[in-house]
Amino acid sequence: MKYYDEYYDKKLCQSIMKKIKGLTAEEMNIMEVCGTHTVSIFRAGIKNLLPKKIHLISGPGCPVCVTPISAIDHLIALARMEETIITTFGDMINVPGSSSSLKKEKARGADIRMIYSPYQALEVAQEFPQQKVILVGIGFETTIPLLANVVLEAEQKGLSNFYLLSLAKIMPPIIEELLQSQEVKIDGILGPGHVSAIIGSKPYQFIPEHYHIPCIIAGFEPVDILWAIYLLIQQKIKGIPLVENQYTRAVREEGNPVALALMNRVFIPVDSDWRGIGKVAASGLDLKPEFSQFNAHNFEVEVETTKEHTQCRCGEVLRGIITPLQCPLFQQVCTPENPIGACMVSSEGTCAAYYKYSNE
């Protein structure tokens, strides 16, 4: 296809749906592990179009959602330090911690600034040299190269008041964790397009090789997603699982070498906690020792004991065990205006997607 609007072509979508219905012979659970896929699926009404035997399950594809409460509590403790400015993307401001949030801390007088680009944190650090400026580094492989470049620029500019709190996470280890746990039967993985544009298709080879299920890297438009689902079903029927790249206009097998080099230069893999999942080996990134002068984890602060909301089932939603409709707080107490769990905060969160688009 040549033009963008062709990926929304109604007749083409109907044609692919006809192919899908022609292939469907048995139950199949397909998990997407990208928040943008989750939103696209709901916005296009794809779940309601598919045969009842094809189940789409939303996994931990939203970086805000998977950030654990303990990390939010740590961030709040940093915000309470004197002469400190916290710079963060907007969604993080509303994520509840154990007893507070960045939004509440800002109302109490903490200097917390919403940014649209991590480079703005450098501008703030230059403007306020007497303040400790902390950038909340959140995201998957899509945004990590930007964070790496910001650190390198801070070093080049000789900034001594800039710090990064790395809450970055990487995708392949969490996919493996979900497949190993077998809490949910997964018959196919809809591979994340944005992440794959950075890391390529090779890191997913363990999925068919070790777990014998197919993985299709997909774009984000209706034709992309429907065609990827068709390919997943086709592979399932043939019994020959592979990693296929449907998103060839953005993803190469080797990924983006420049972005990967930036990540590897600045960050090192570490064990990382995921909301509702726990600690996953080598699933996070922290600054290498040679960049320790920028590491906000080095500040000694008193962090309150983490308290989970007893009725919030965000963790089970992230693992694909339940849908938001099975959470007793969903739409009743937990709404975008009053989020109880992080899955309702971000626009890419599964609960937020269900709230906005689902008619189930």
| 275-323 per-position pLDDT tens digit | 999 999 999 999 999 999 999 999 999 999 999 899 999 999 999 999 9
Cβ density class 265-295: b for 16+ within 10 Å, e for less: ebbeeeebbbbbbeebeebbbbbeeebeebb
DSSP per residue, 146-209? HHHHHHHHHHHHT-SSEEEEE--B-HHHHHHHHHHH-SS---EEEE-HHHHHHH-SGGGTHHHH
Q: Give the pLDDT of residue 26.
A: 84
Q: Give the pLDDT of residue 237.
A: 92
Name the superfamily (CATH) of residues 1-311. HypD, alpha/beta domain 1 (3.40.50.11750)
Mean pLDDT of 40-56: 93
| Confidence band of 343 (pLDDT split at 50, 70, 90) | very high
Q: Give the pLDDT of residue 172.
A: 97
| Confidence band of 4 (pLDDT split at 50, 70, 90) | low
DSSP per residue, 213-269? --EEE--SSHHHHHHHHHHHHHHHHHT---EEES-TTT--TT--HHHHHHHHHHEEE
Q: Give the pLDDT of residue 190.
A: 97
73, 303 Cβ separation under 8 angstroms: yes
Q: Give the pLDDT of residue 121.
A: 98
DSSP per residue, 78-116? HHTSTTEEEEE-HHHHT---SS--HHHHHHTT-EEEE-S
Residues of the chain with CATH 3.40.50.11750: 1-311
- pTM given for the model: 0.94
| Confidence band of 330 (pLDDT split at 50, 70, 90) | very high
| Confidence band of 10 (pLDDT split at 50, 70, 90) | confident
| Confidence band of 1 (pLDDT split at 50, 70, 90) | low
CA atoms of 163 and 122, how far apart (whole Å): 9
- Asked if residue 360 has pLDDT above 80, the reply is no
- Asked if residue 5 has pLDDT above 80, the reply is no
| CA 315 from centroid of its chain's CA atoms | 14
- The per-residue pLDDT of the chain, averaged, comes to 94
CA atoms of 76 and 303, how far apart (whole Å): 8
